[in-house]
Amino acid sequence: MSTSVASTVIRTVDPASGGTLAEYPLDGAERIEGALARAAAAFPSWRDAGFPRRSALFAKISAYLRAHKTELGTLITKEMGKPLVEAEAEVEKCATGCDYYAKHAVEILADEHVRSNAAESYVSFNPLGVVLAIMPWNFPFWQVFRFAAPGLMAGNVAVLKHAANVTGCALEIERIFTRCGAPEGVFTTLVVPGKDMESIVADPRVAAVTLTGSEAAGGAVASAAGKQIKKTVLELGGSDAFIVLADADLDAAAATAVKARFQNTGQSCIAAKRFIVEAAAYDAFLQKFVAAARNLVVGDPLERGTQVGPLAREDLRDAIAEQVRETVAGGARVALGGSALDRPGFFYAPTILADVEPSMVAFRDETFGPAAAVIRARDAEHAVELANDSSFGLGGNLWTRDIARGRALARRIETGAVFINGMTASDPRLPFGGVKKSGYGRELSHYGIKEFVNIQTIWIGPAQGAASPAPPAE
C-alpha cells in the first residue's frame, strides 16, 4: 500500500518510487474537539464579514497559488504521481476558481425580489455554518478549492478531511488560508482515518457534508448524515461514454480521446472510459486512437516531458491490472499495452482494449487507471443505449459534425454533463455533478454555491390586496 494508517500515524509514499515521503501524527480526540469548536466559533463573524472581506481573502489566495504554482505542483506530484505539468495546471485552475467566486459571489447570492401579495417579498441566501468536506486524492488541490471557493464565499466555514495519501497537500492548503489572512477556524484540516468520520458527521456543530469519492464512501457518509437530517452533496464515480458517430472528425476525436482517457494517468471521475464508436467508423477510429496513445511519454512525473506517471497507490495499479485481465479473459482484445511496467513505482502501461462487450468488466465497472475500453455500436441509437447502460451518470462526450443531431442525442444521455466535440471538464462557470450512482447535488456555477445556503423567504406585510389562491396554511 502506498499509504498506511497505523494507530497513531499516517505514512505517505512516493508512487514513482515506492519510498516513504513523510509520516504525520493522527489527530486525537482533543485536537478534533478543538478544531470543531474553533470552526463553530468562527462562523458567526465570517458569516457577517460581508462579501468585500471574503473576496479580498480569495483574491489573496489566488495570487498566492499562482506565485507558488511550481512548488505546490511539485508537492502534488510527489504525493500522488500526477505529471508536474498537469499538477501546475491544477493549481492554476484553483486560482481561476477563487477569482470567479471572489468576483461573482455577491451578485449570485444577491436577494431575489419576488412580486407577491406582500408589501415586499424576497428570497435571501444565507450560509449554513460548518461544512465538512471529505475529499479524494486524485485532484488534491482542485477538489478542495472546488468546494471551498463557493462555500466560504457564501459565508460558511470548512473542516477538511482529505485522503490519507495526500496529507501533505491537505495541511498545505490549511497553511495557505492562514498565510493569506483567513481568521482562525474558517478553514481547518483534520488528519483522521475514515473510520472516525461517522462521529464527526454526527457532531451537532457540523451543518452539512460534501464528499467527492467512491460509491462506497458516498453511501456511508450519506447514511450517517441522513440519520442526522443533514444536507449532503455527493460527487462519486463515473464511467463516462465517449461516443463517436460515423460523421465525426476522427482525427480530432482520437486526439481528444487520448487526453480524455490518459490525463492524470486515467485517475479521474470524468475521464472518458467507454469509447462507443459507430460501426462505420470503428476500425478507423481505433487505429487513430492506438497510434496517438502509443506516442505517450511514460516516466518520472517530475520531468516536464512526462505525460503519464504512476498510479497513486500500489493497490490501484493492481486493481486496473486485474480489470484488464478479466476483460481480456472475457473476449476483449489488447490493442495497446495491457501490463504493468517493470520499473520501481506503481506504473501501468497506457492500455486500449478493443471489441469490449457490455458484459465485460471494463464496461460494467469504473476503471480508475490508464485503460480504455472500445465498444462497437450498430448506429447512433445503439450508441446512446450503450452509453446509458451504466449505473453511473457523471459526464460524457459526443462527436458528430451534425450539431442539431448532437443536441437532440445529448438530451437523451443520462449524465450530469455532455460535451459535444470537446473534452469533458469542470468549469467554475458551469454546474458539475451527476445522476444515478455518480451522486447528487451540484458543484460550481451559481447552482453549486447555493447548495450550502439556506434559501430563505422573507415576507413583509401588510398584505397588498387579495392573495393568490393557495392551500390552507400548515
132 close to 205: Cβ distance less than 8 angstroms? no
Contact, 239 vs 435, CB < 8 A? no
Contacts 24+ apart (CB under 8 A), 327-335: 327/353, 327/356, 327/360, 327/361, 327/362, 327/363, 327/373, 328/353, 330/357, 330/359, 330/360, 330/361, 331/355, 331/357, 331/360, 332/356, 332/357, 332/360, 332/362, 332/373, 335/286, 335/290, 335/374
For residue 384, give the C-alpha cell. Answer: 446512446
The H-or-E segment that residue 454 falls in is strand 453-460
Cell of 425: 471538464
Do residues 35 and 188 touch, judged by C-beta distance below 8 A?
yes
Catalytic residue among 86, 269, 366, 443: 269
Residue among 86, 172, 235, 414 flagged as catalytic: 235
Q: Are 393 and 439 in contact (CB under 8 A)?
A: no
Return all residues near 415 (Cβ < 8 A) that are at least 6 apart: 240, 241, 387, 393, 394, 395, 396, 434, 435, 438
User: Are the CB atoms for 324 and 363 separated by under 8 Å?
Assistant: no
Residue 295 burial (CB count, 10 A): 9
Distance between CA atoms of residues 396 and 448, nearest Å: 20
C-alpha cell at 183: 481568521
Measure the CA–CA gap between 188 and 156, rounded to whole angstroms.
12
- In 3-state terms the chain splits into helix, strand, coil percentages (rounded to 5) of 40, 20, 35
- Give Cα 27 to chain centroid, integer Å: 26
Q: Which of 45, 441, 433, 34 is nearest to 209 (CA)?
A: 441
How far apart are alpha carbons 410 and 387 in whole angstroms? 11
Helices 250-262 and 279-294 cross at an angle (nearest 10°) of: 50
For residue 4, give the nearest of 170, 196, 164, 216 by alpha carbon: 164
Residue 381 is a catalytic residue:
no
For residue 187, the surrounding DSSP H or E stretch is: strand 187-190
Annotated catalytic residue 215? no
> Catalytic positions, please?
235, 269
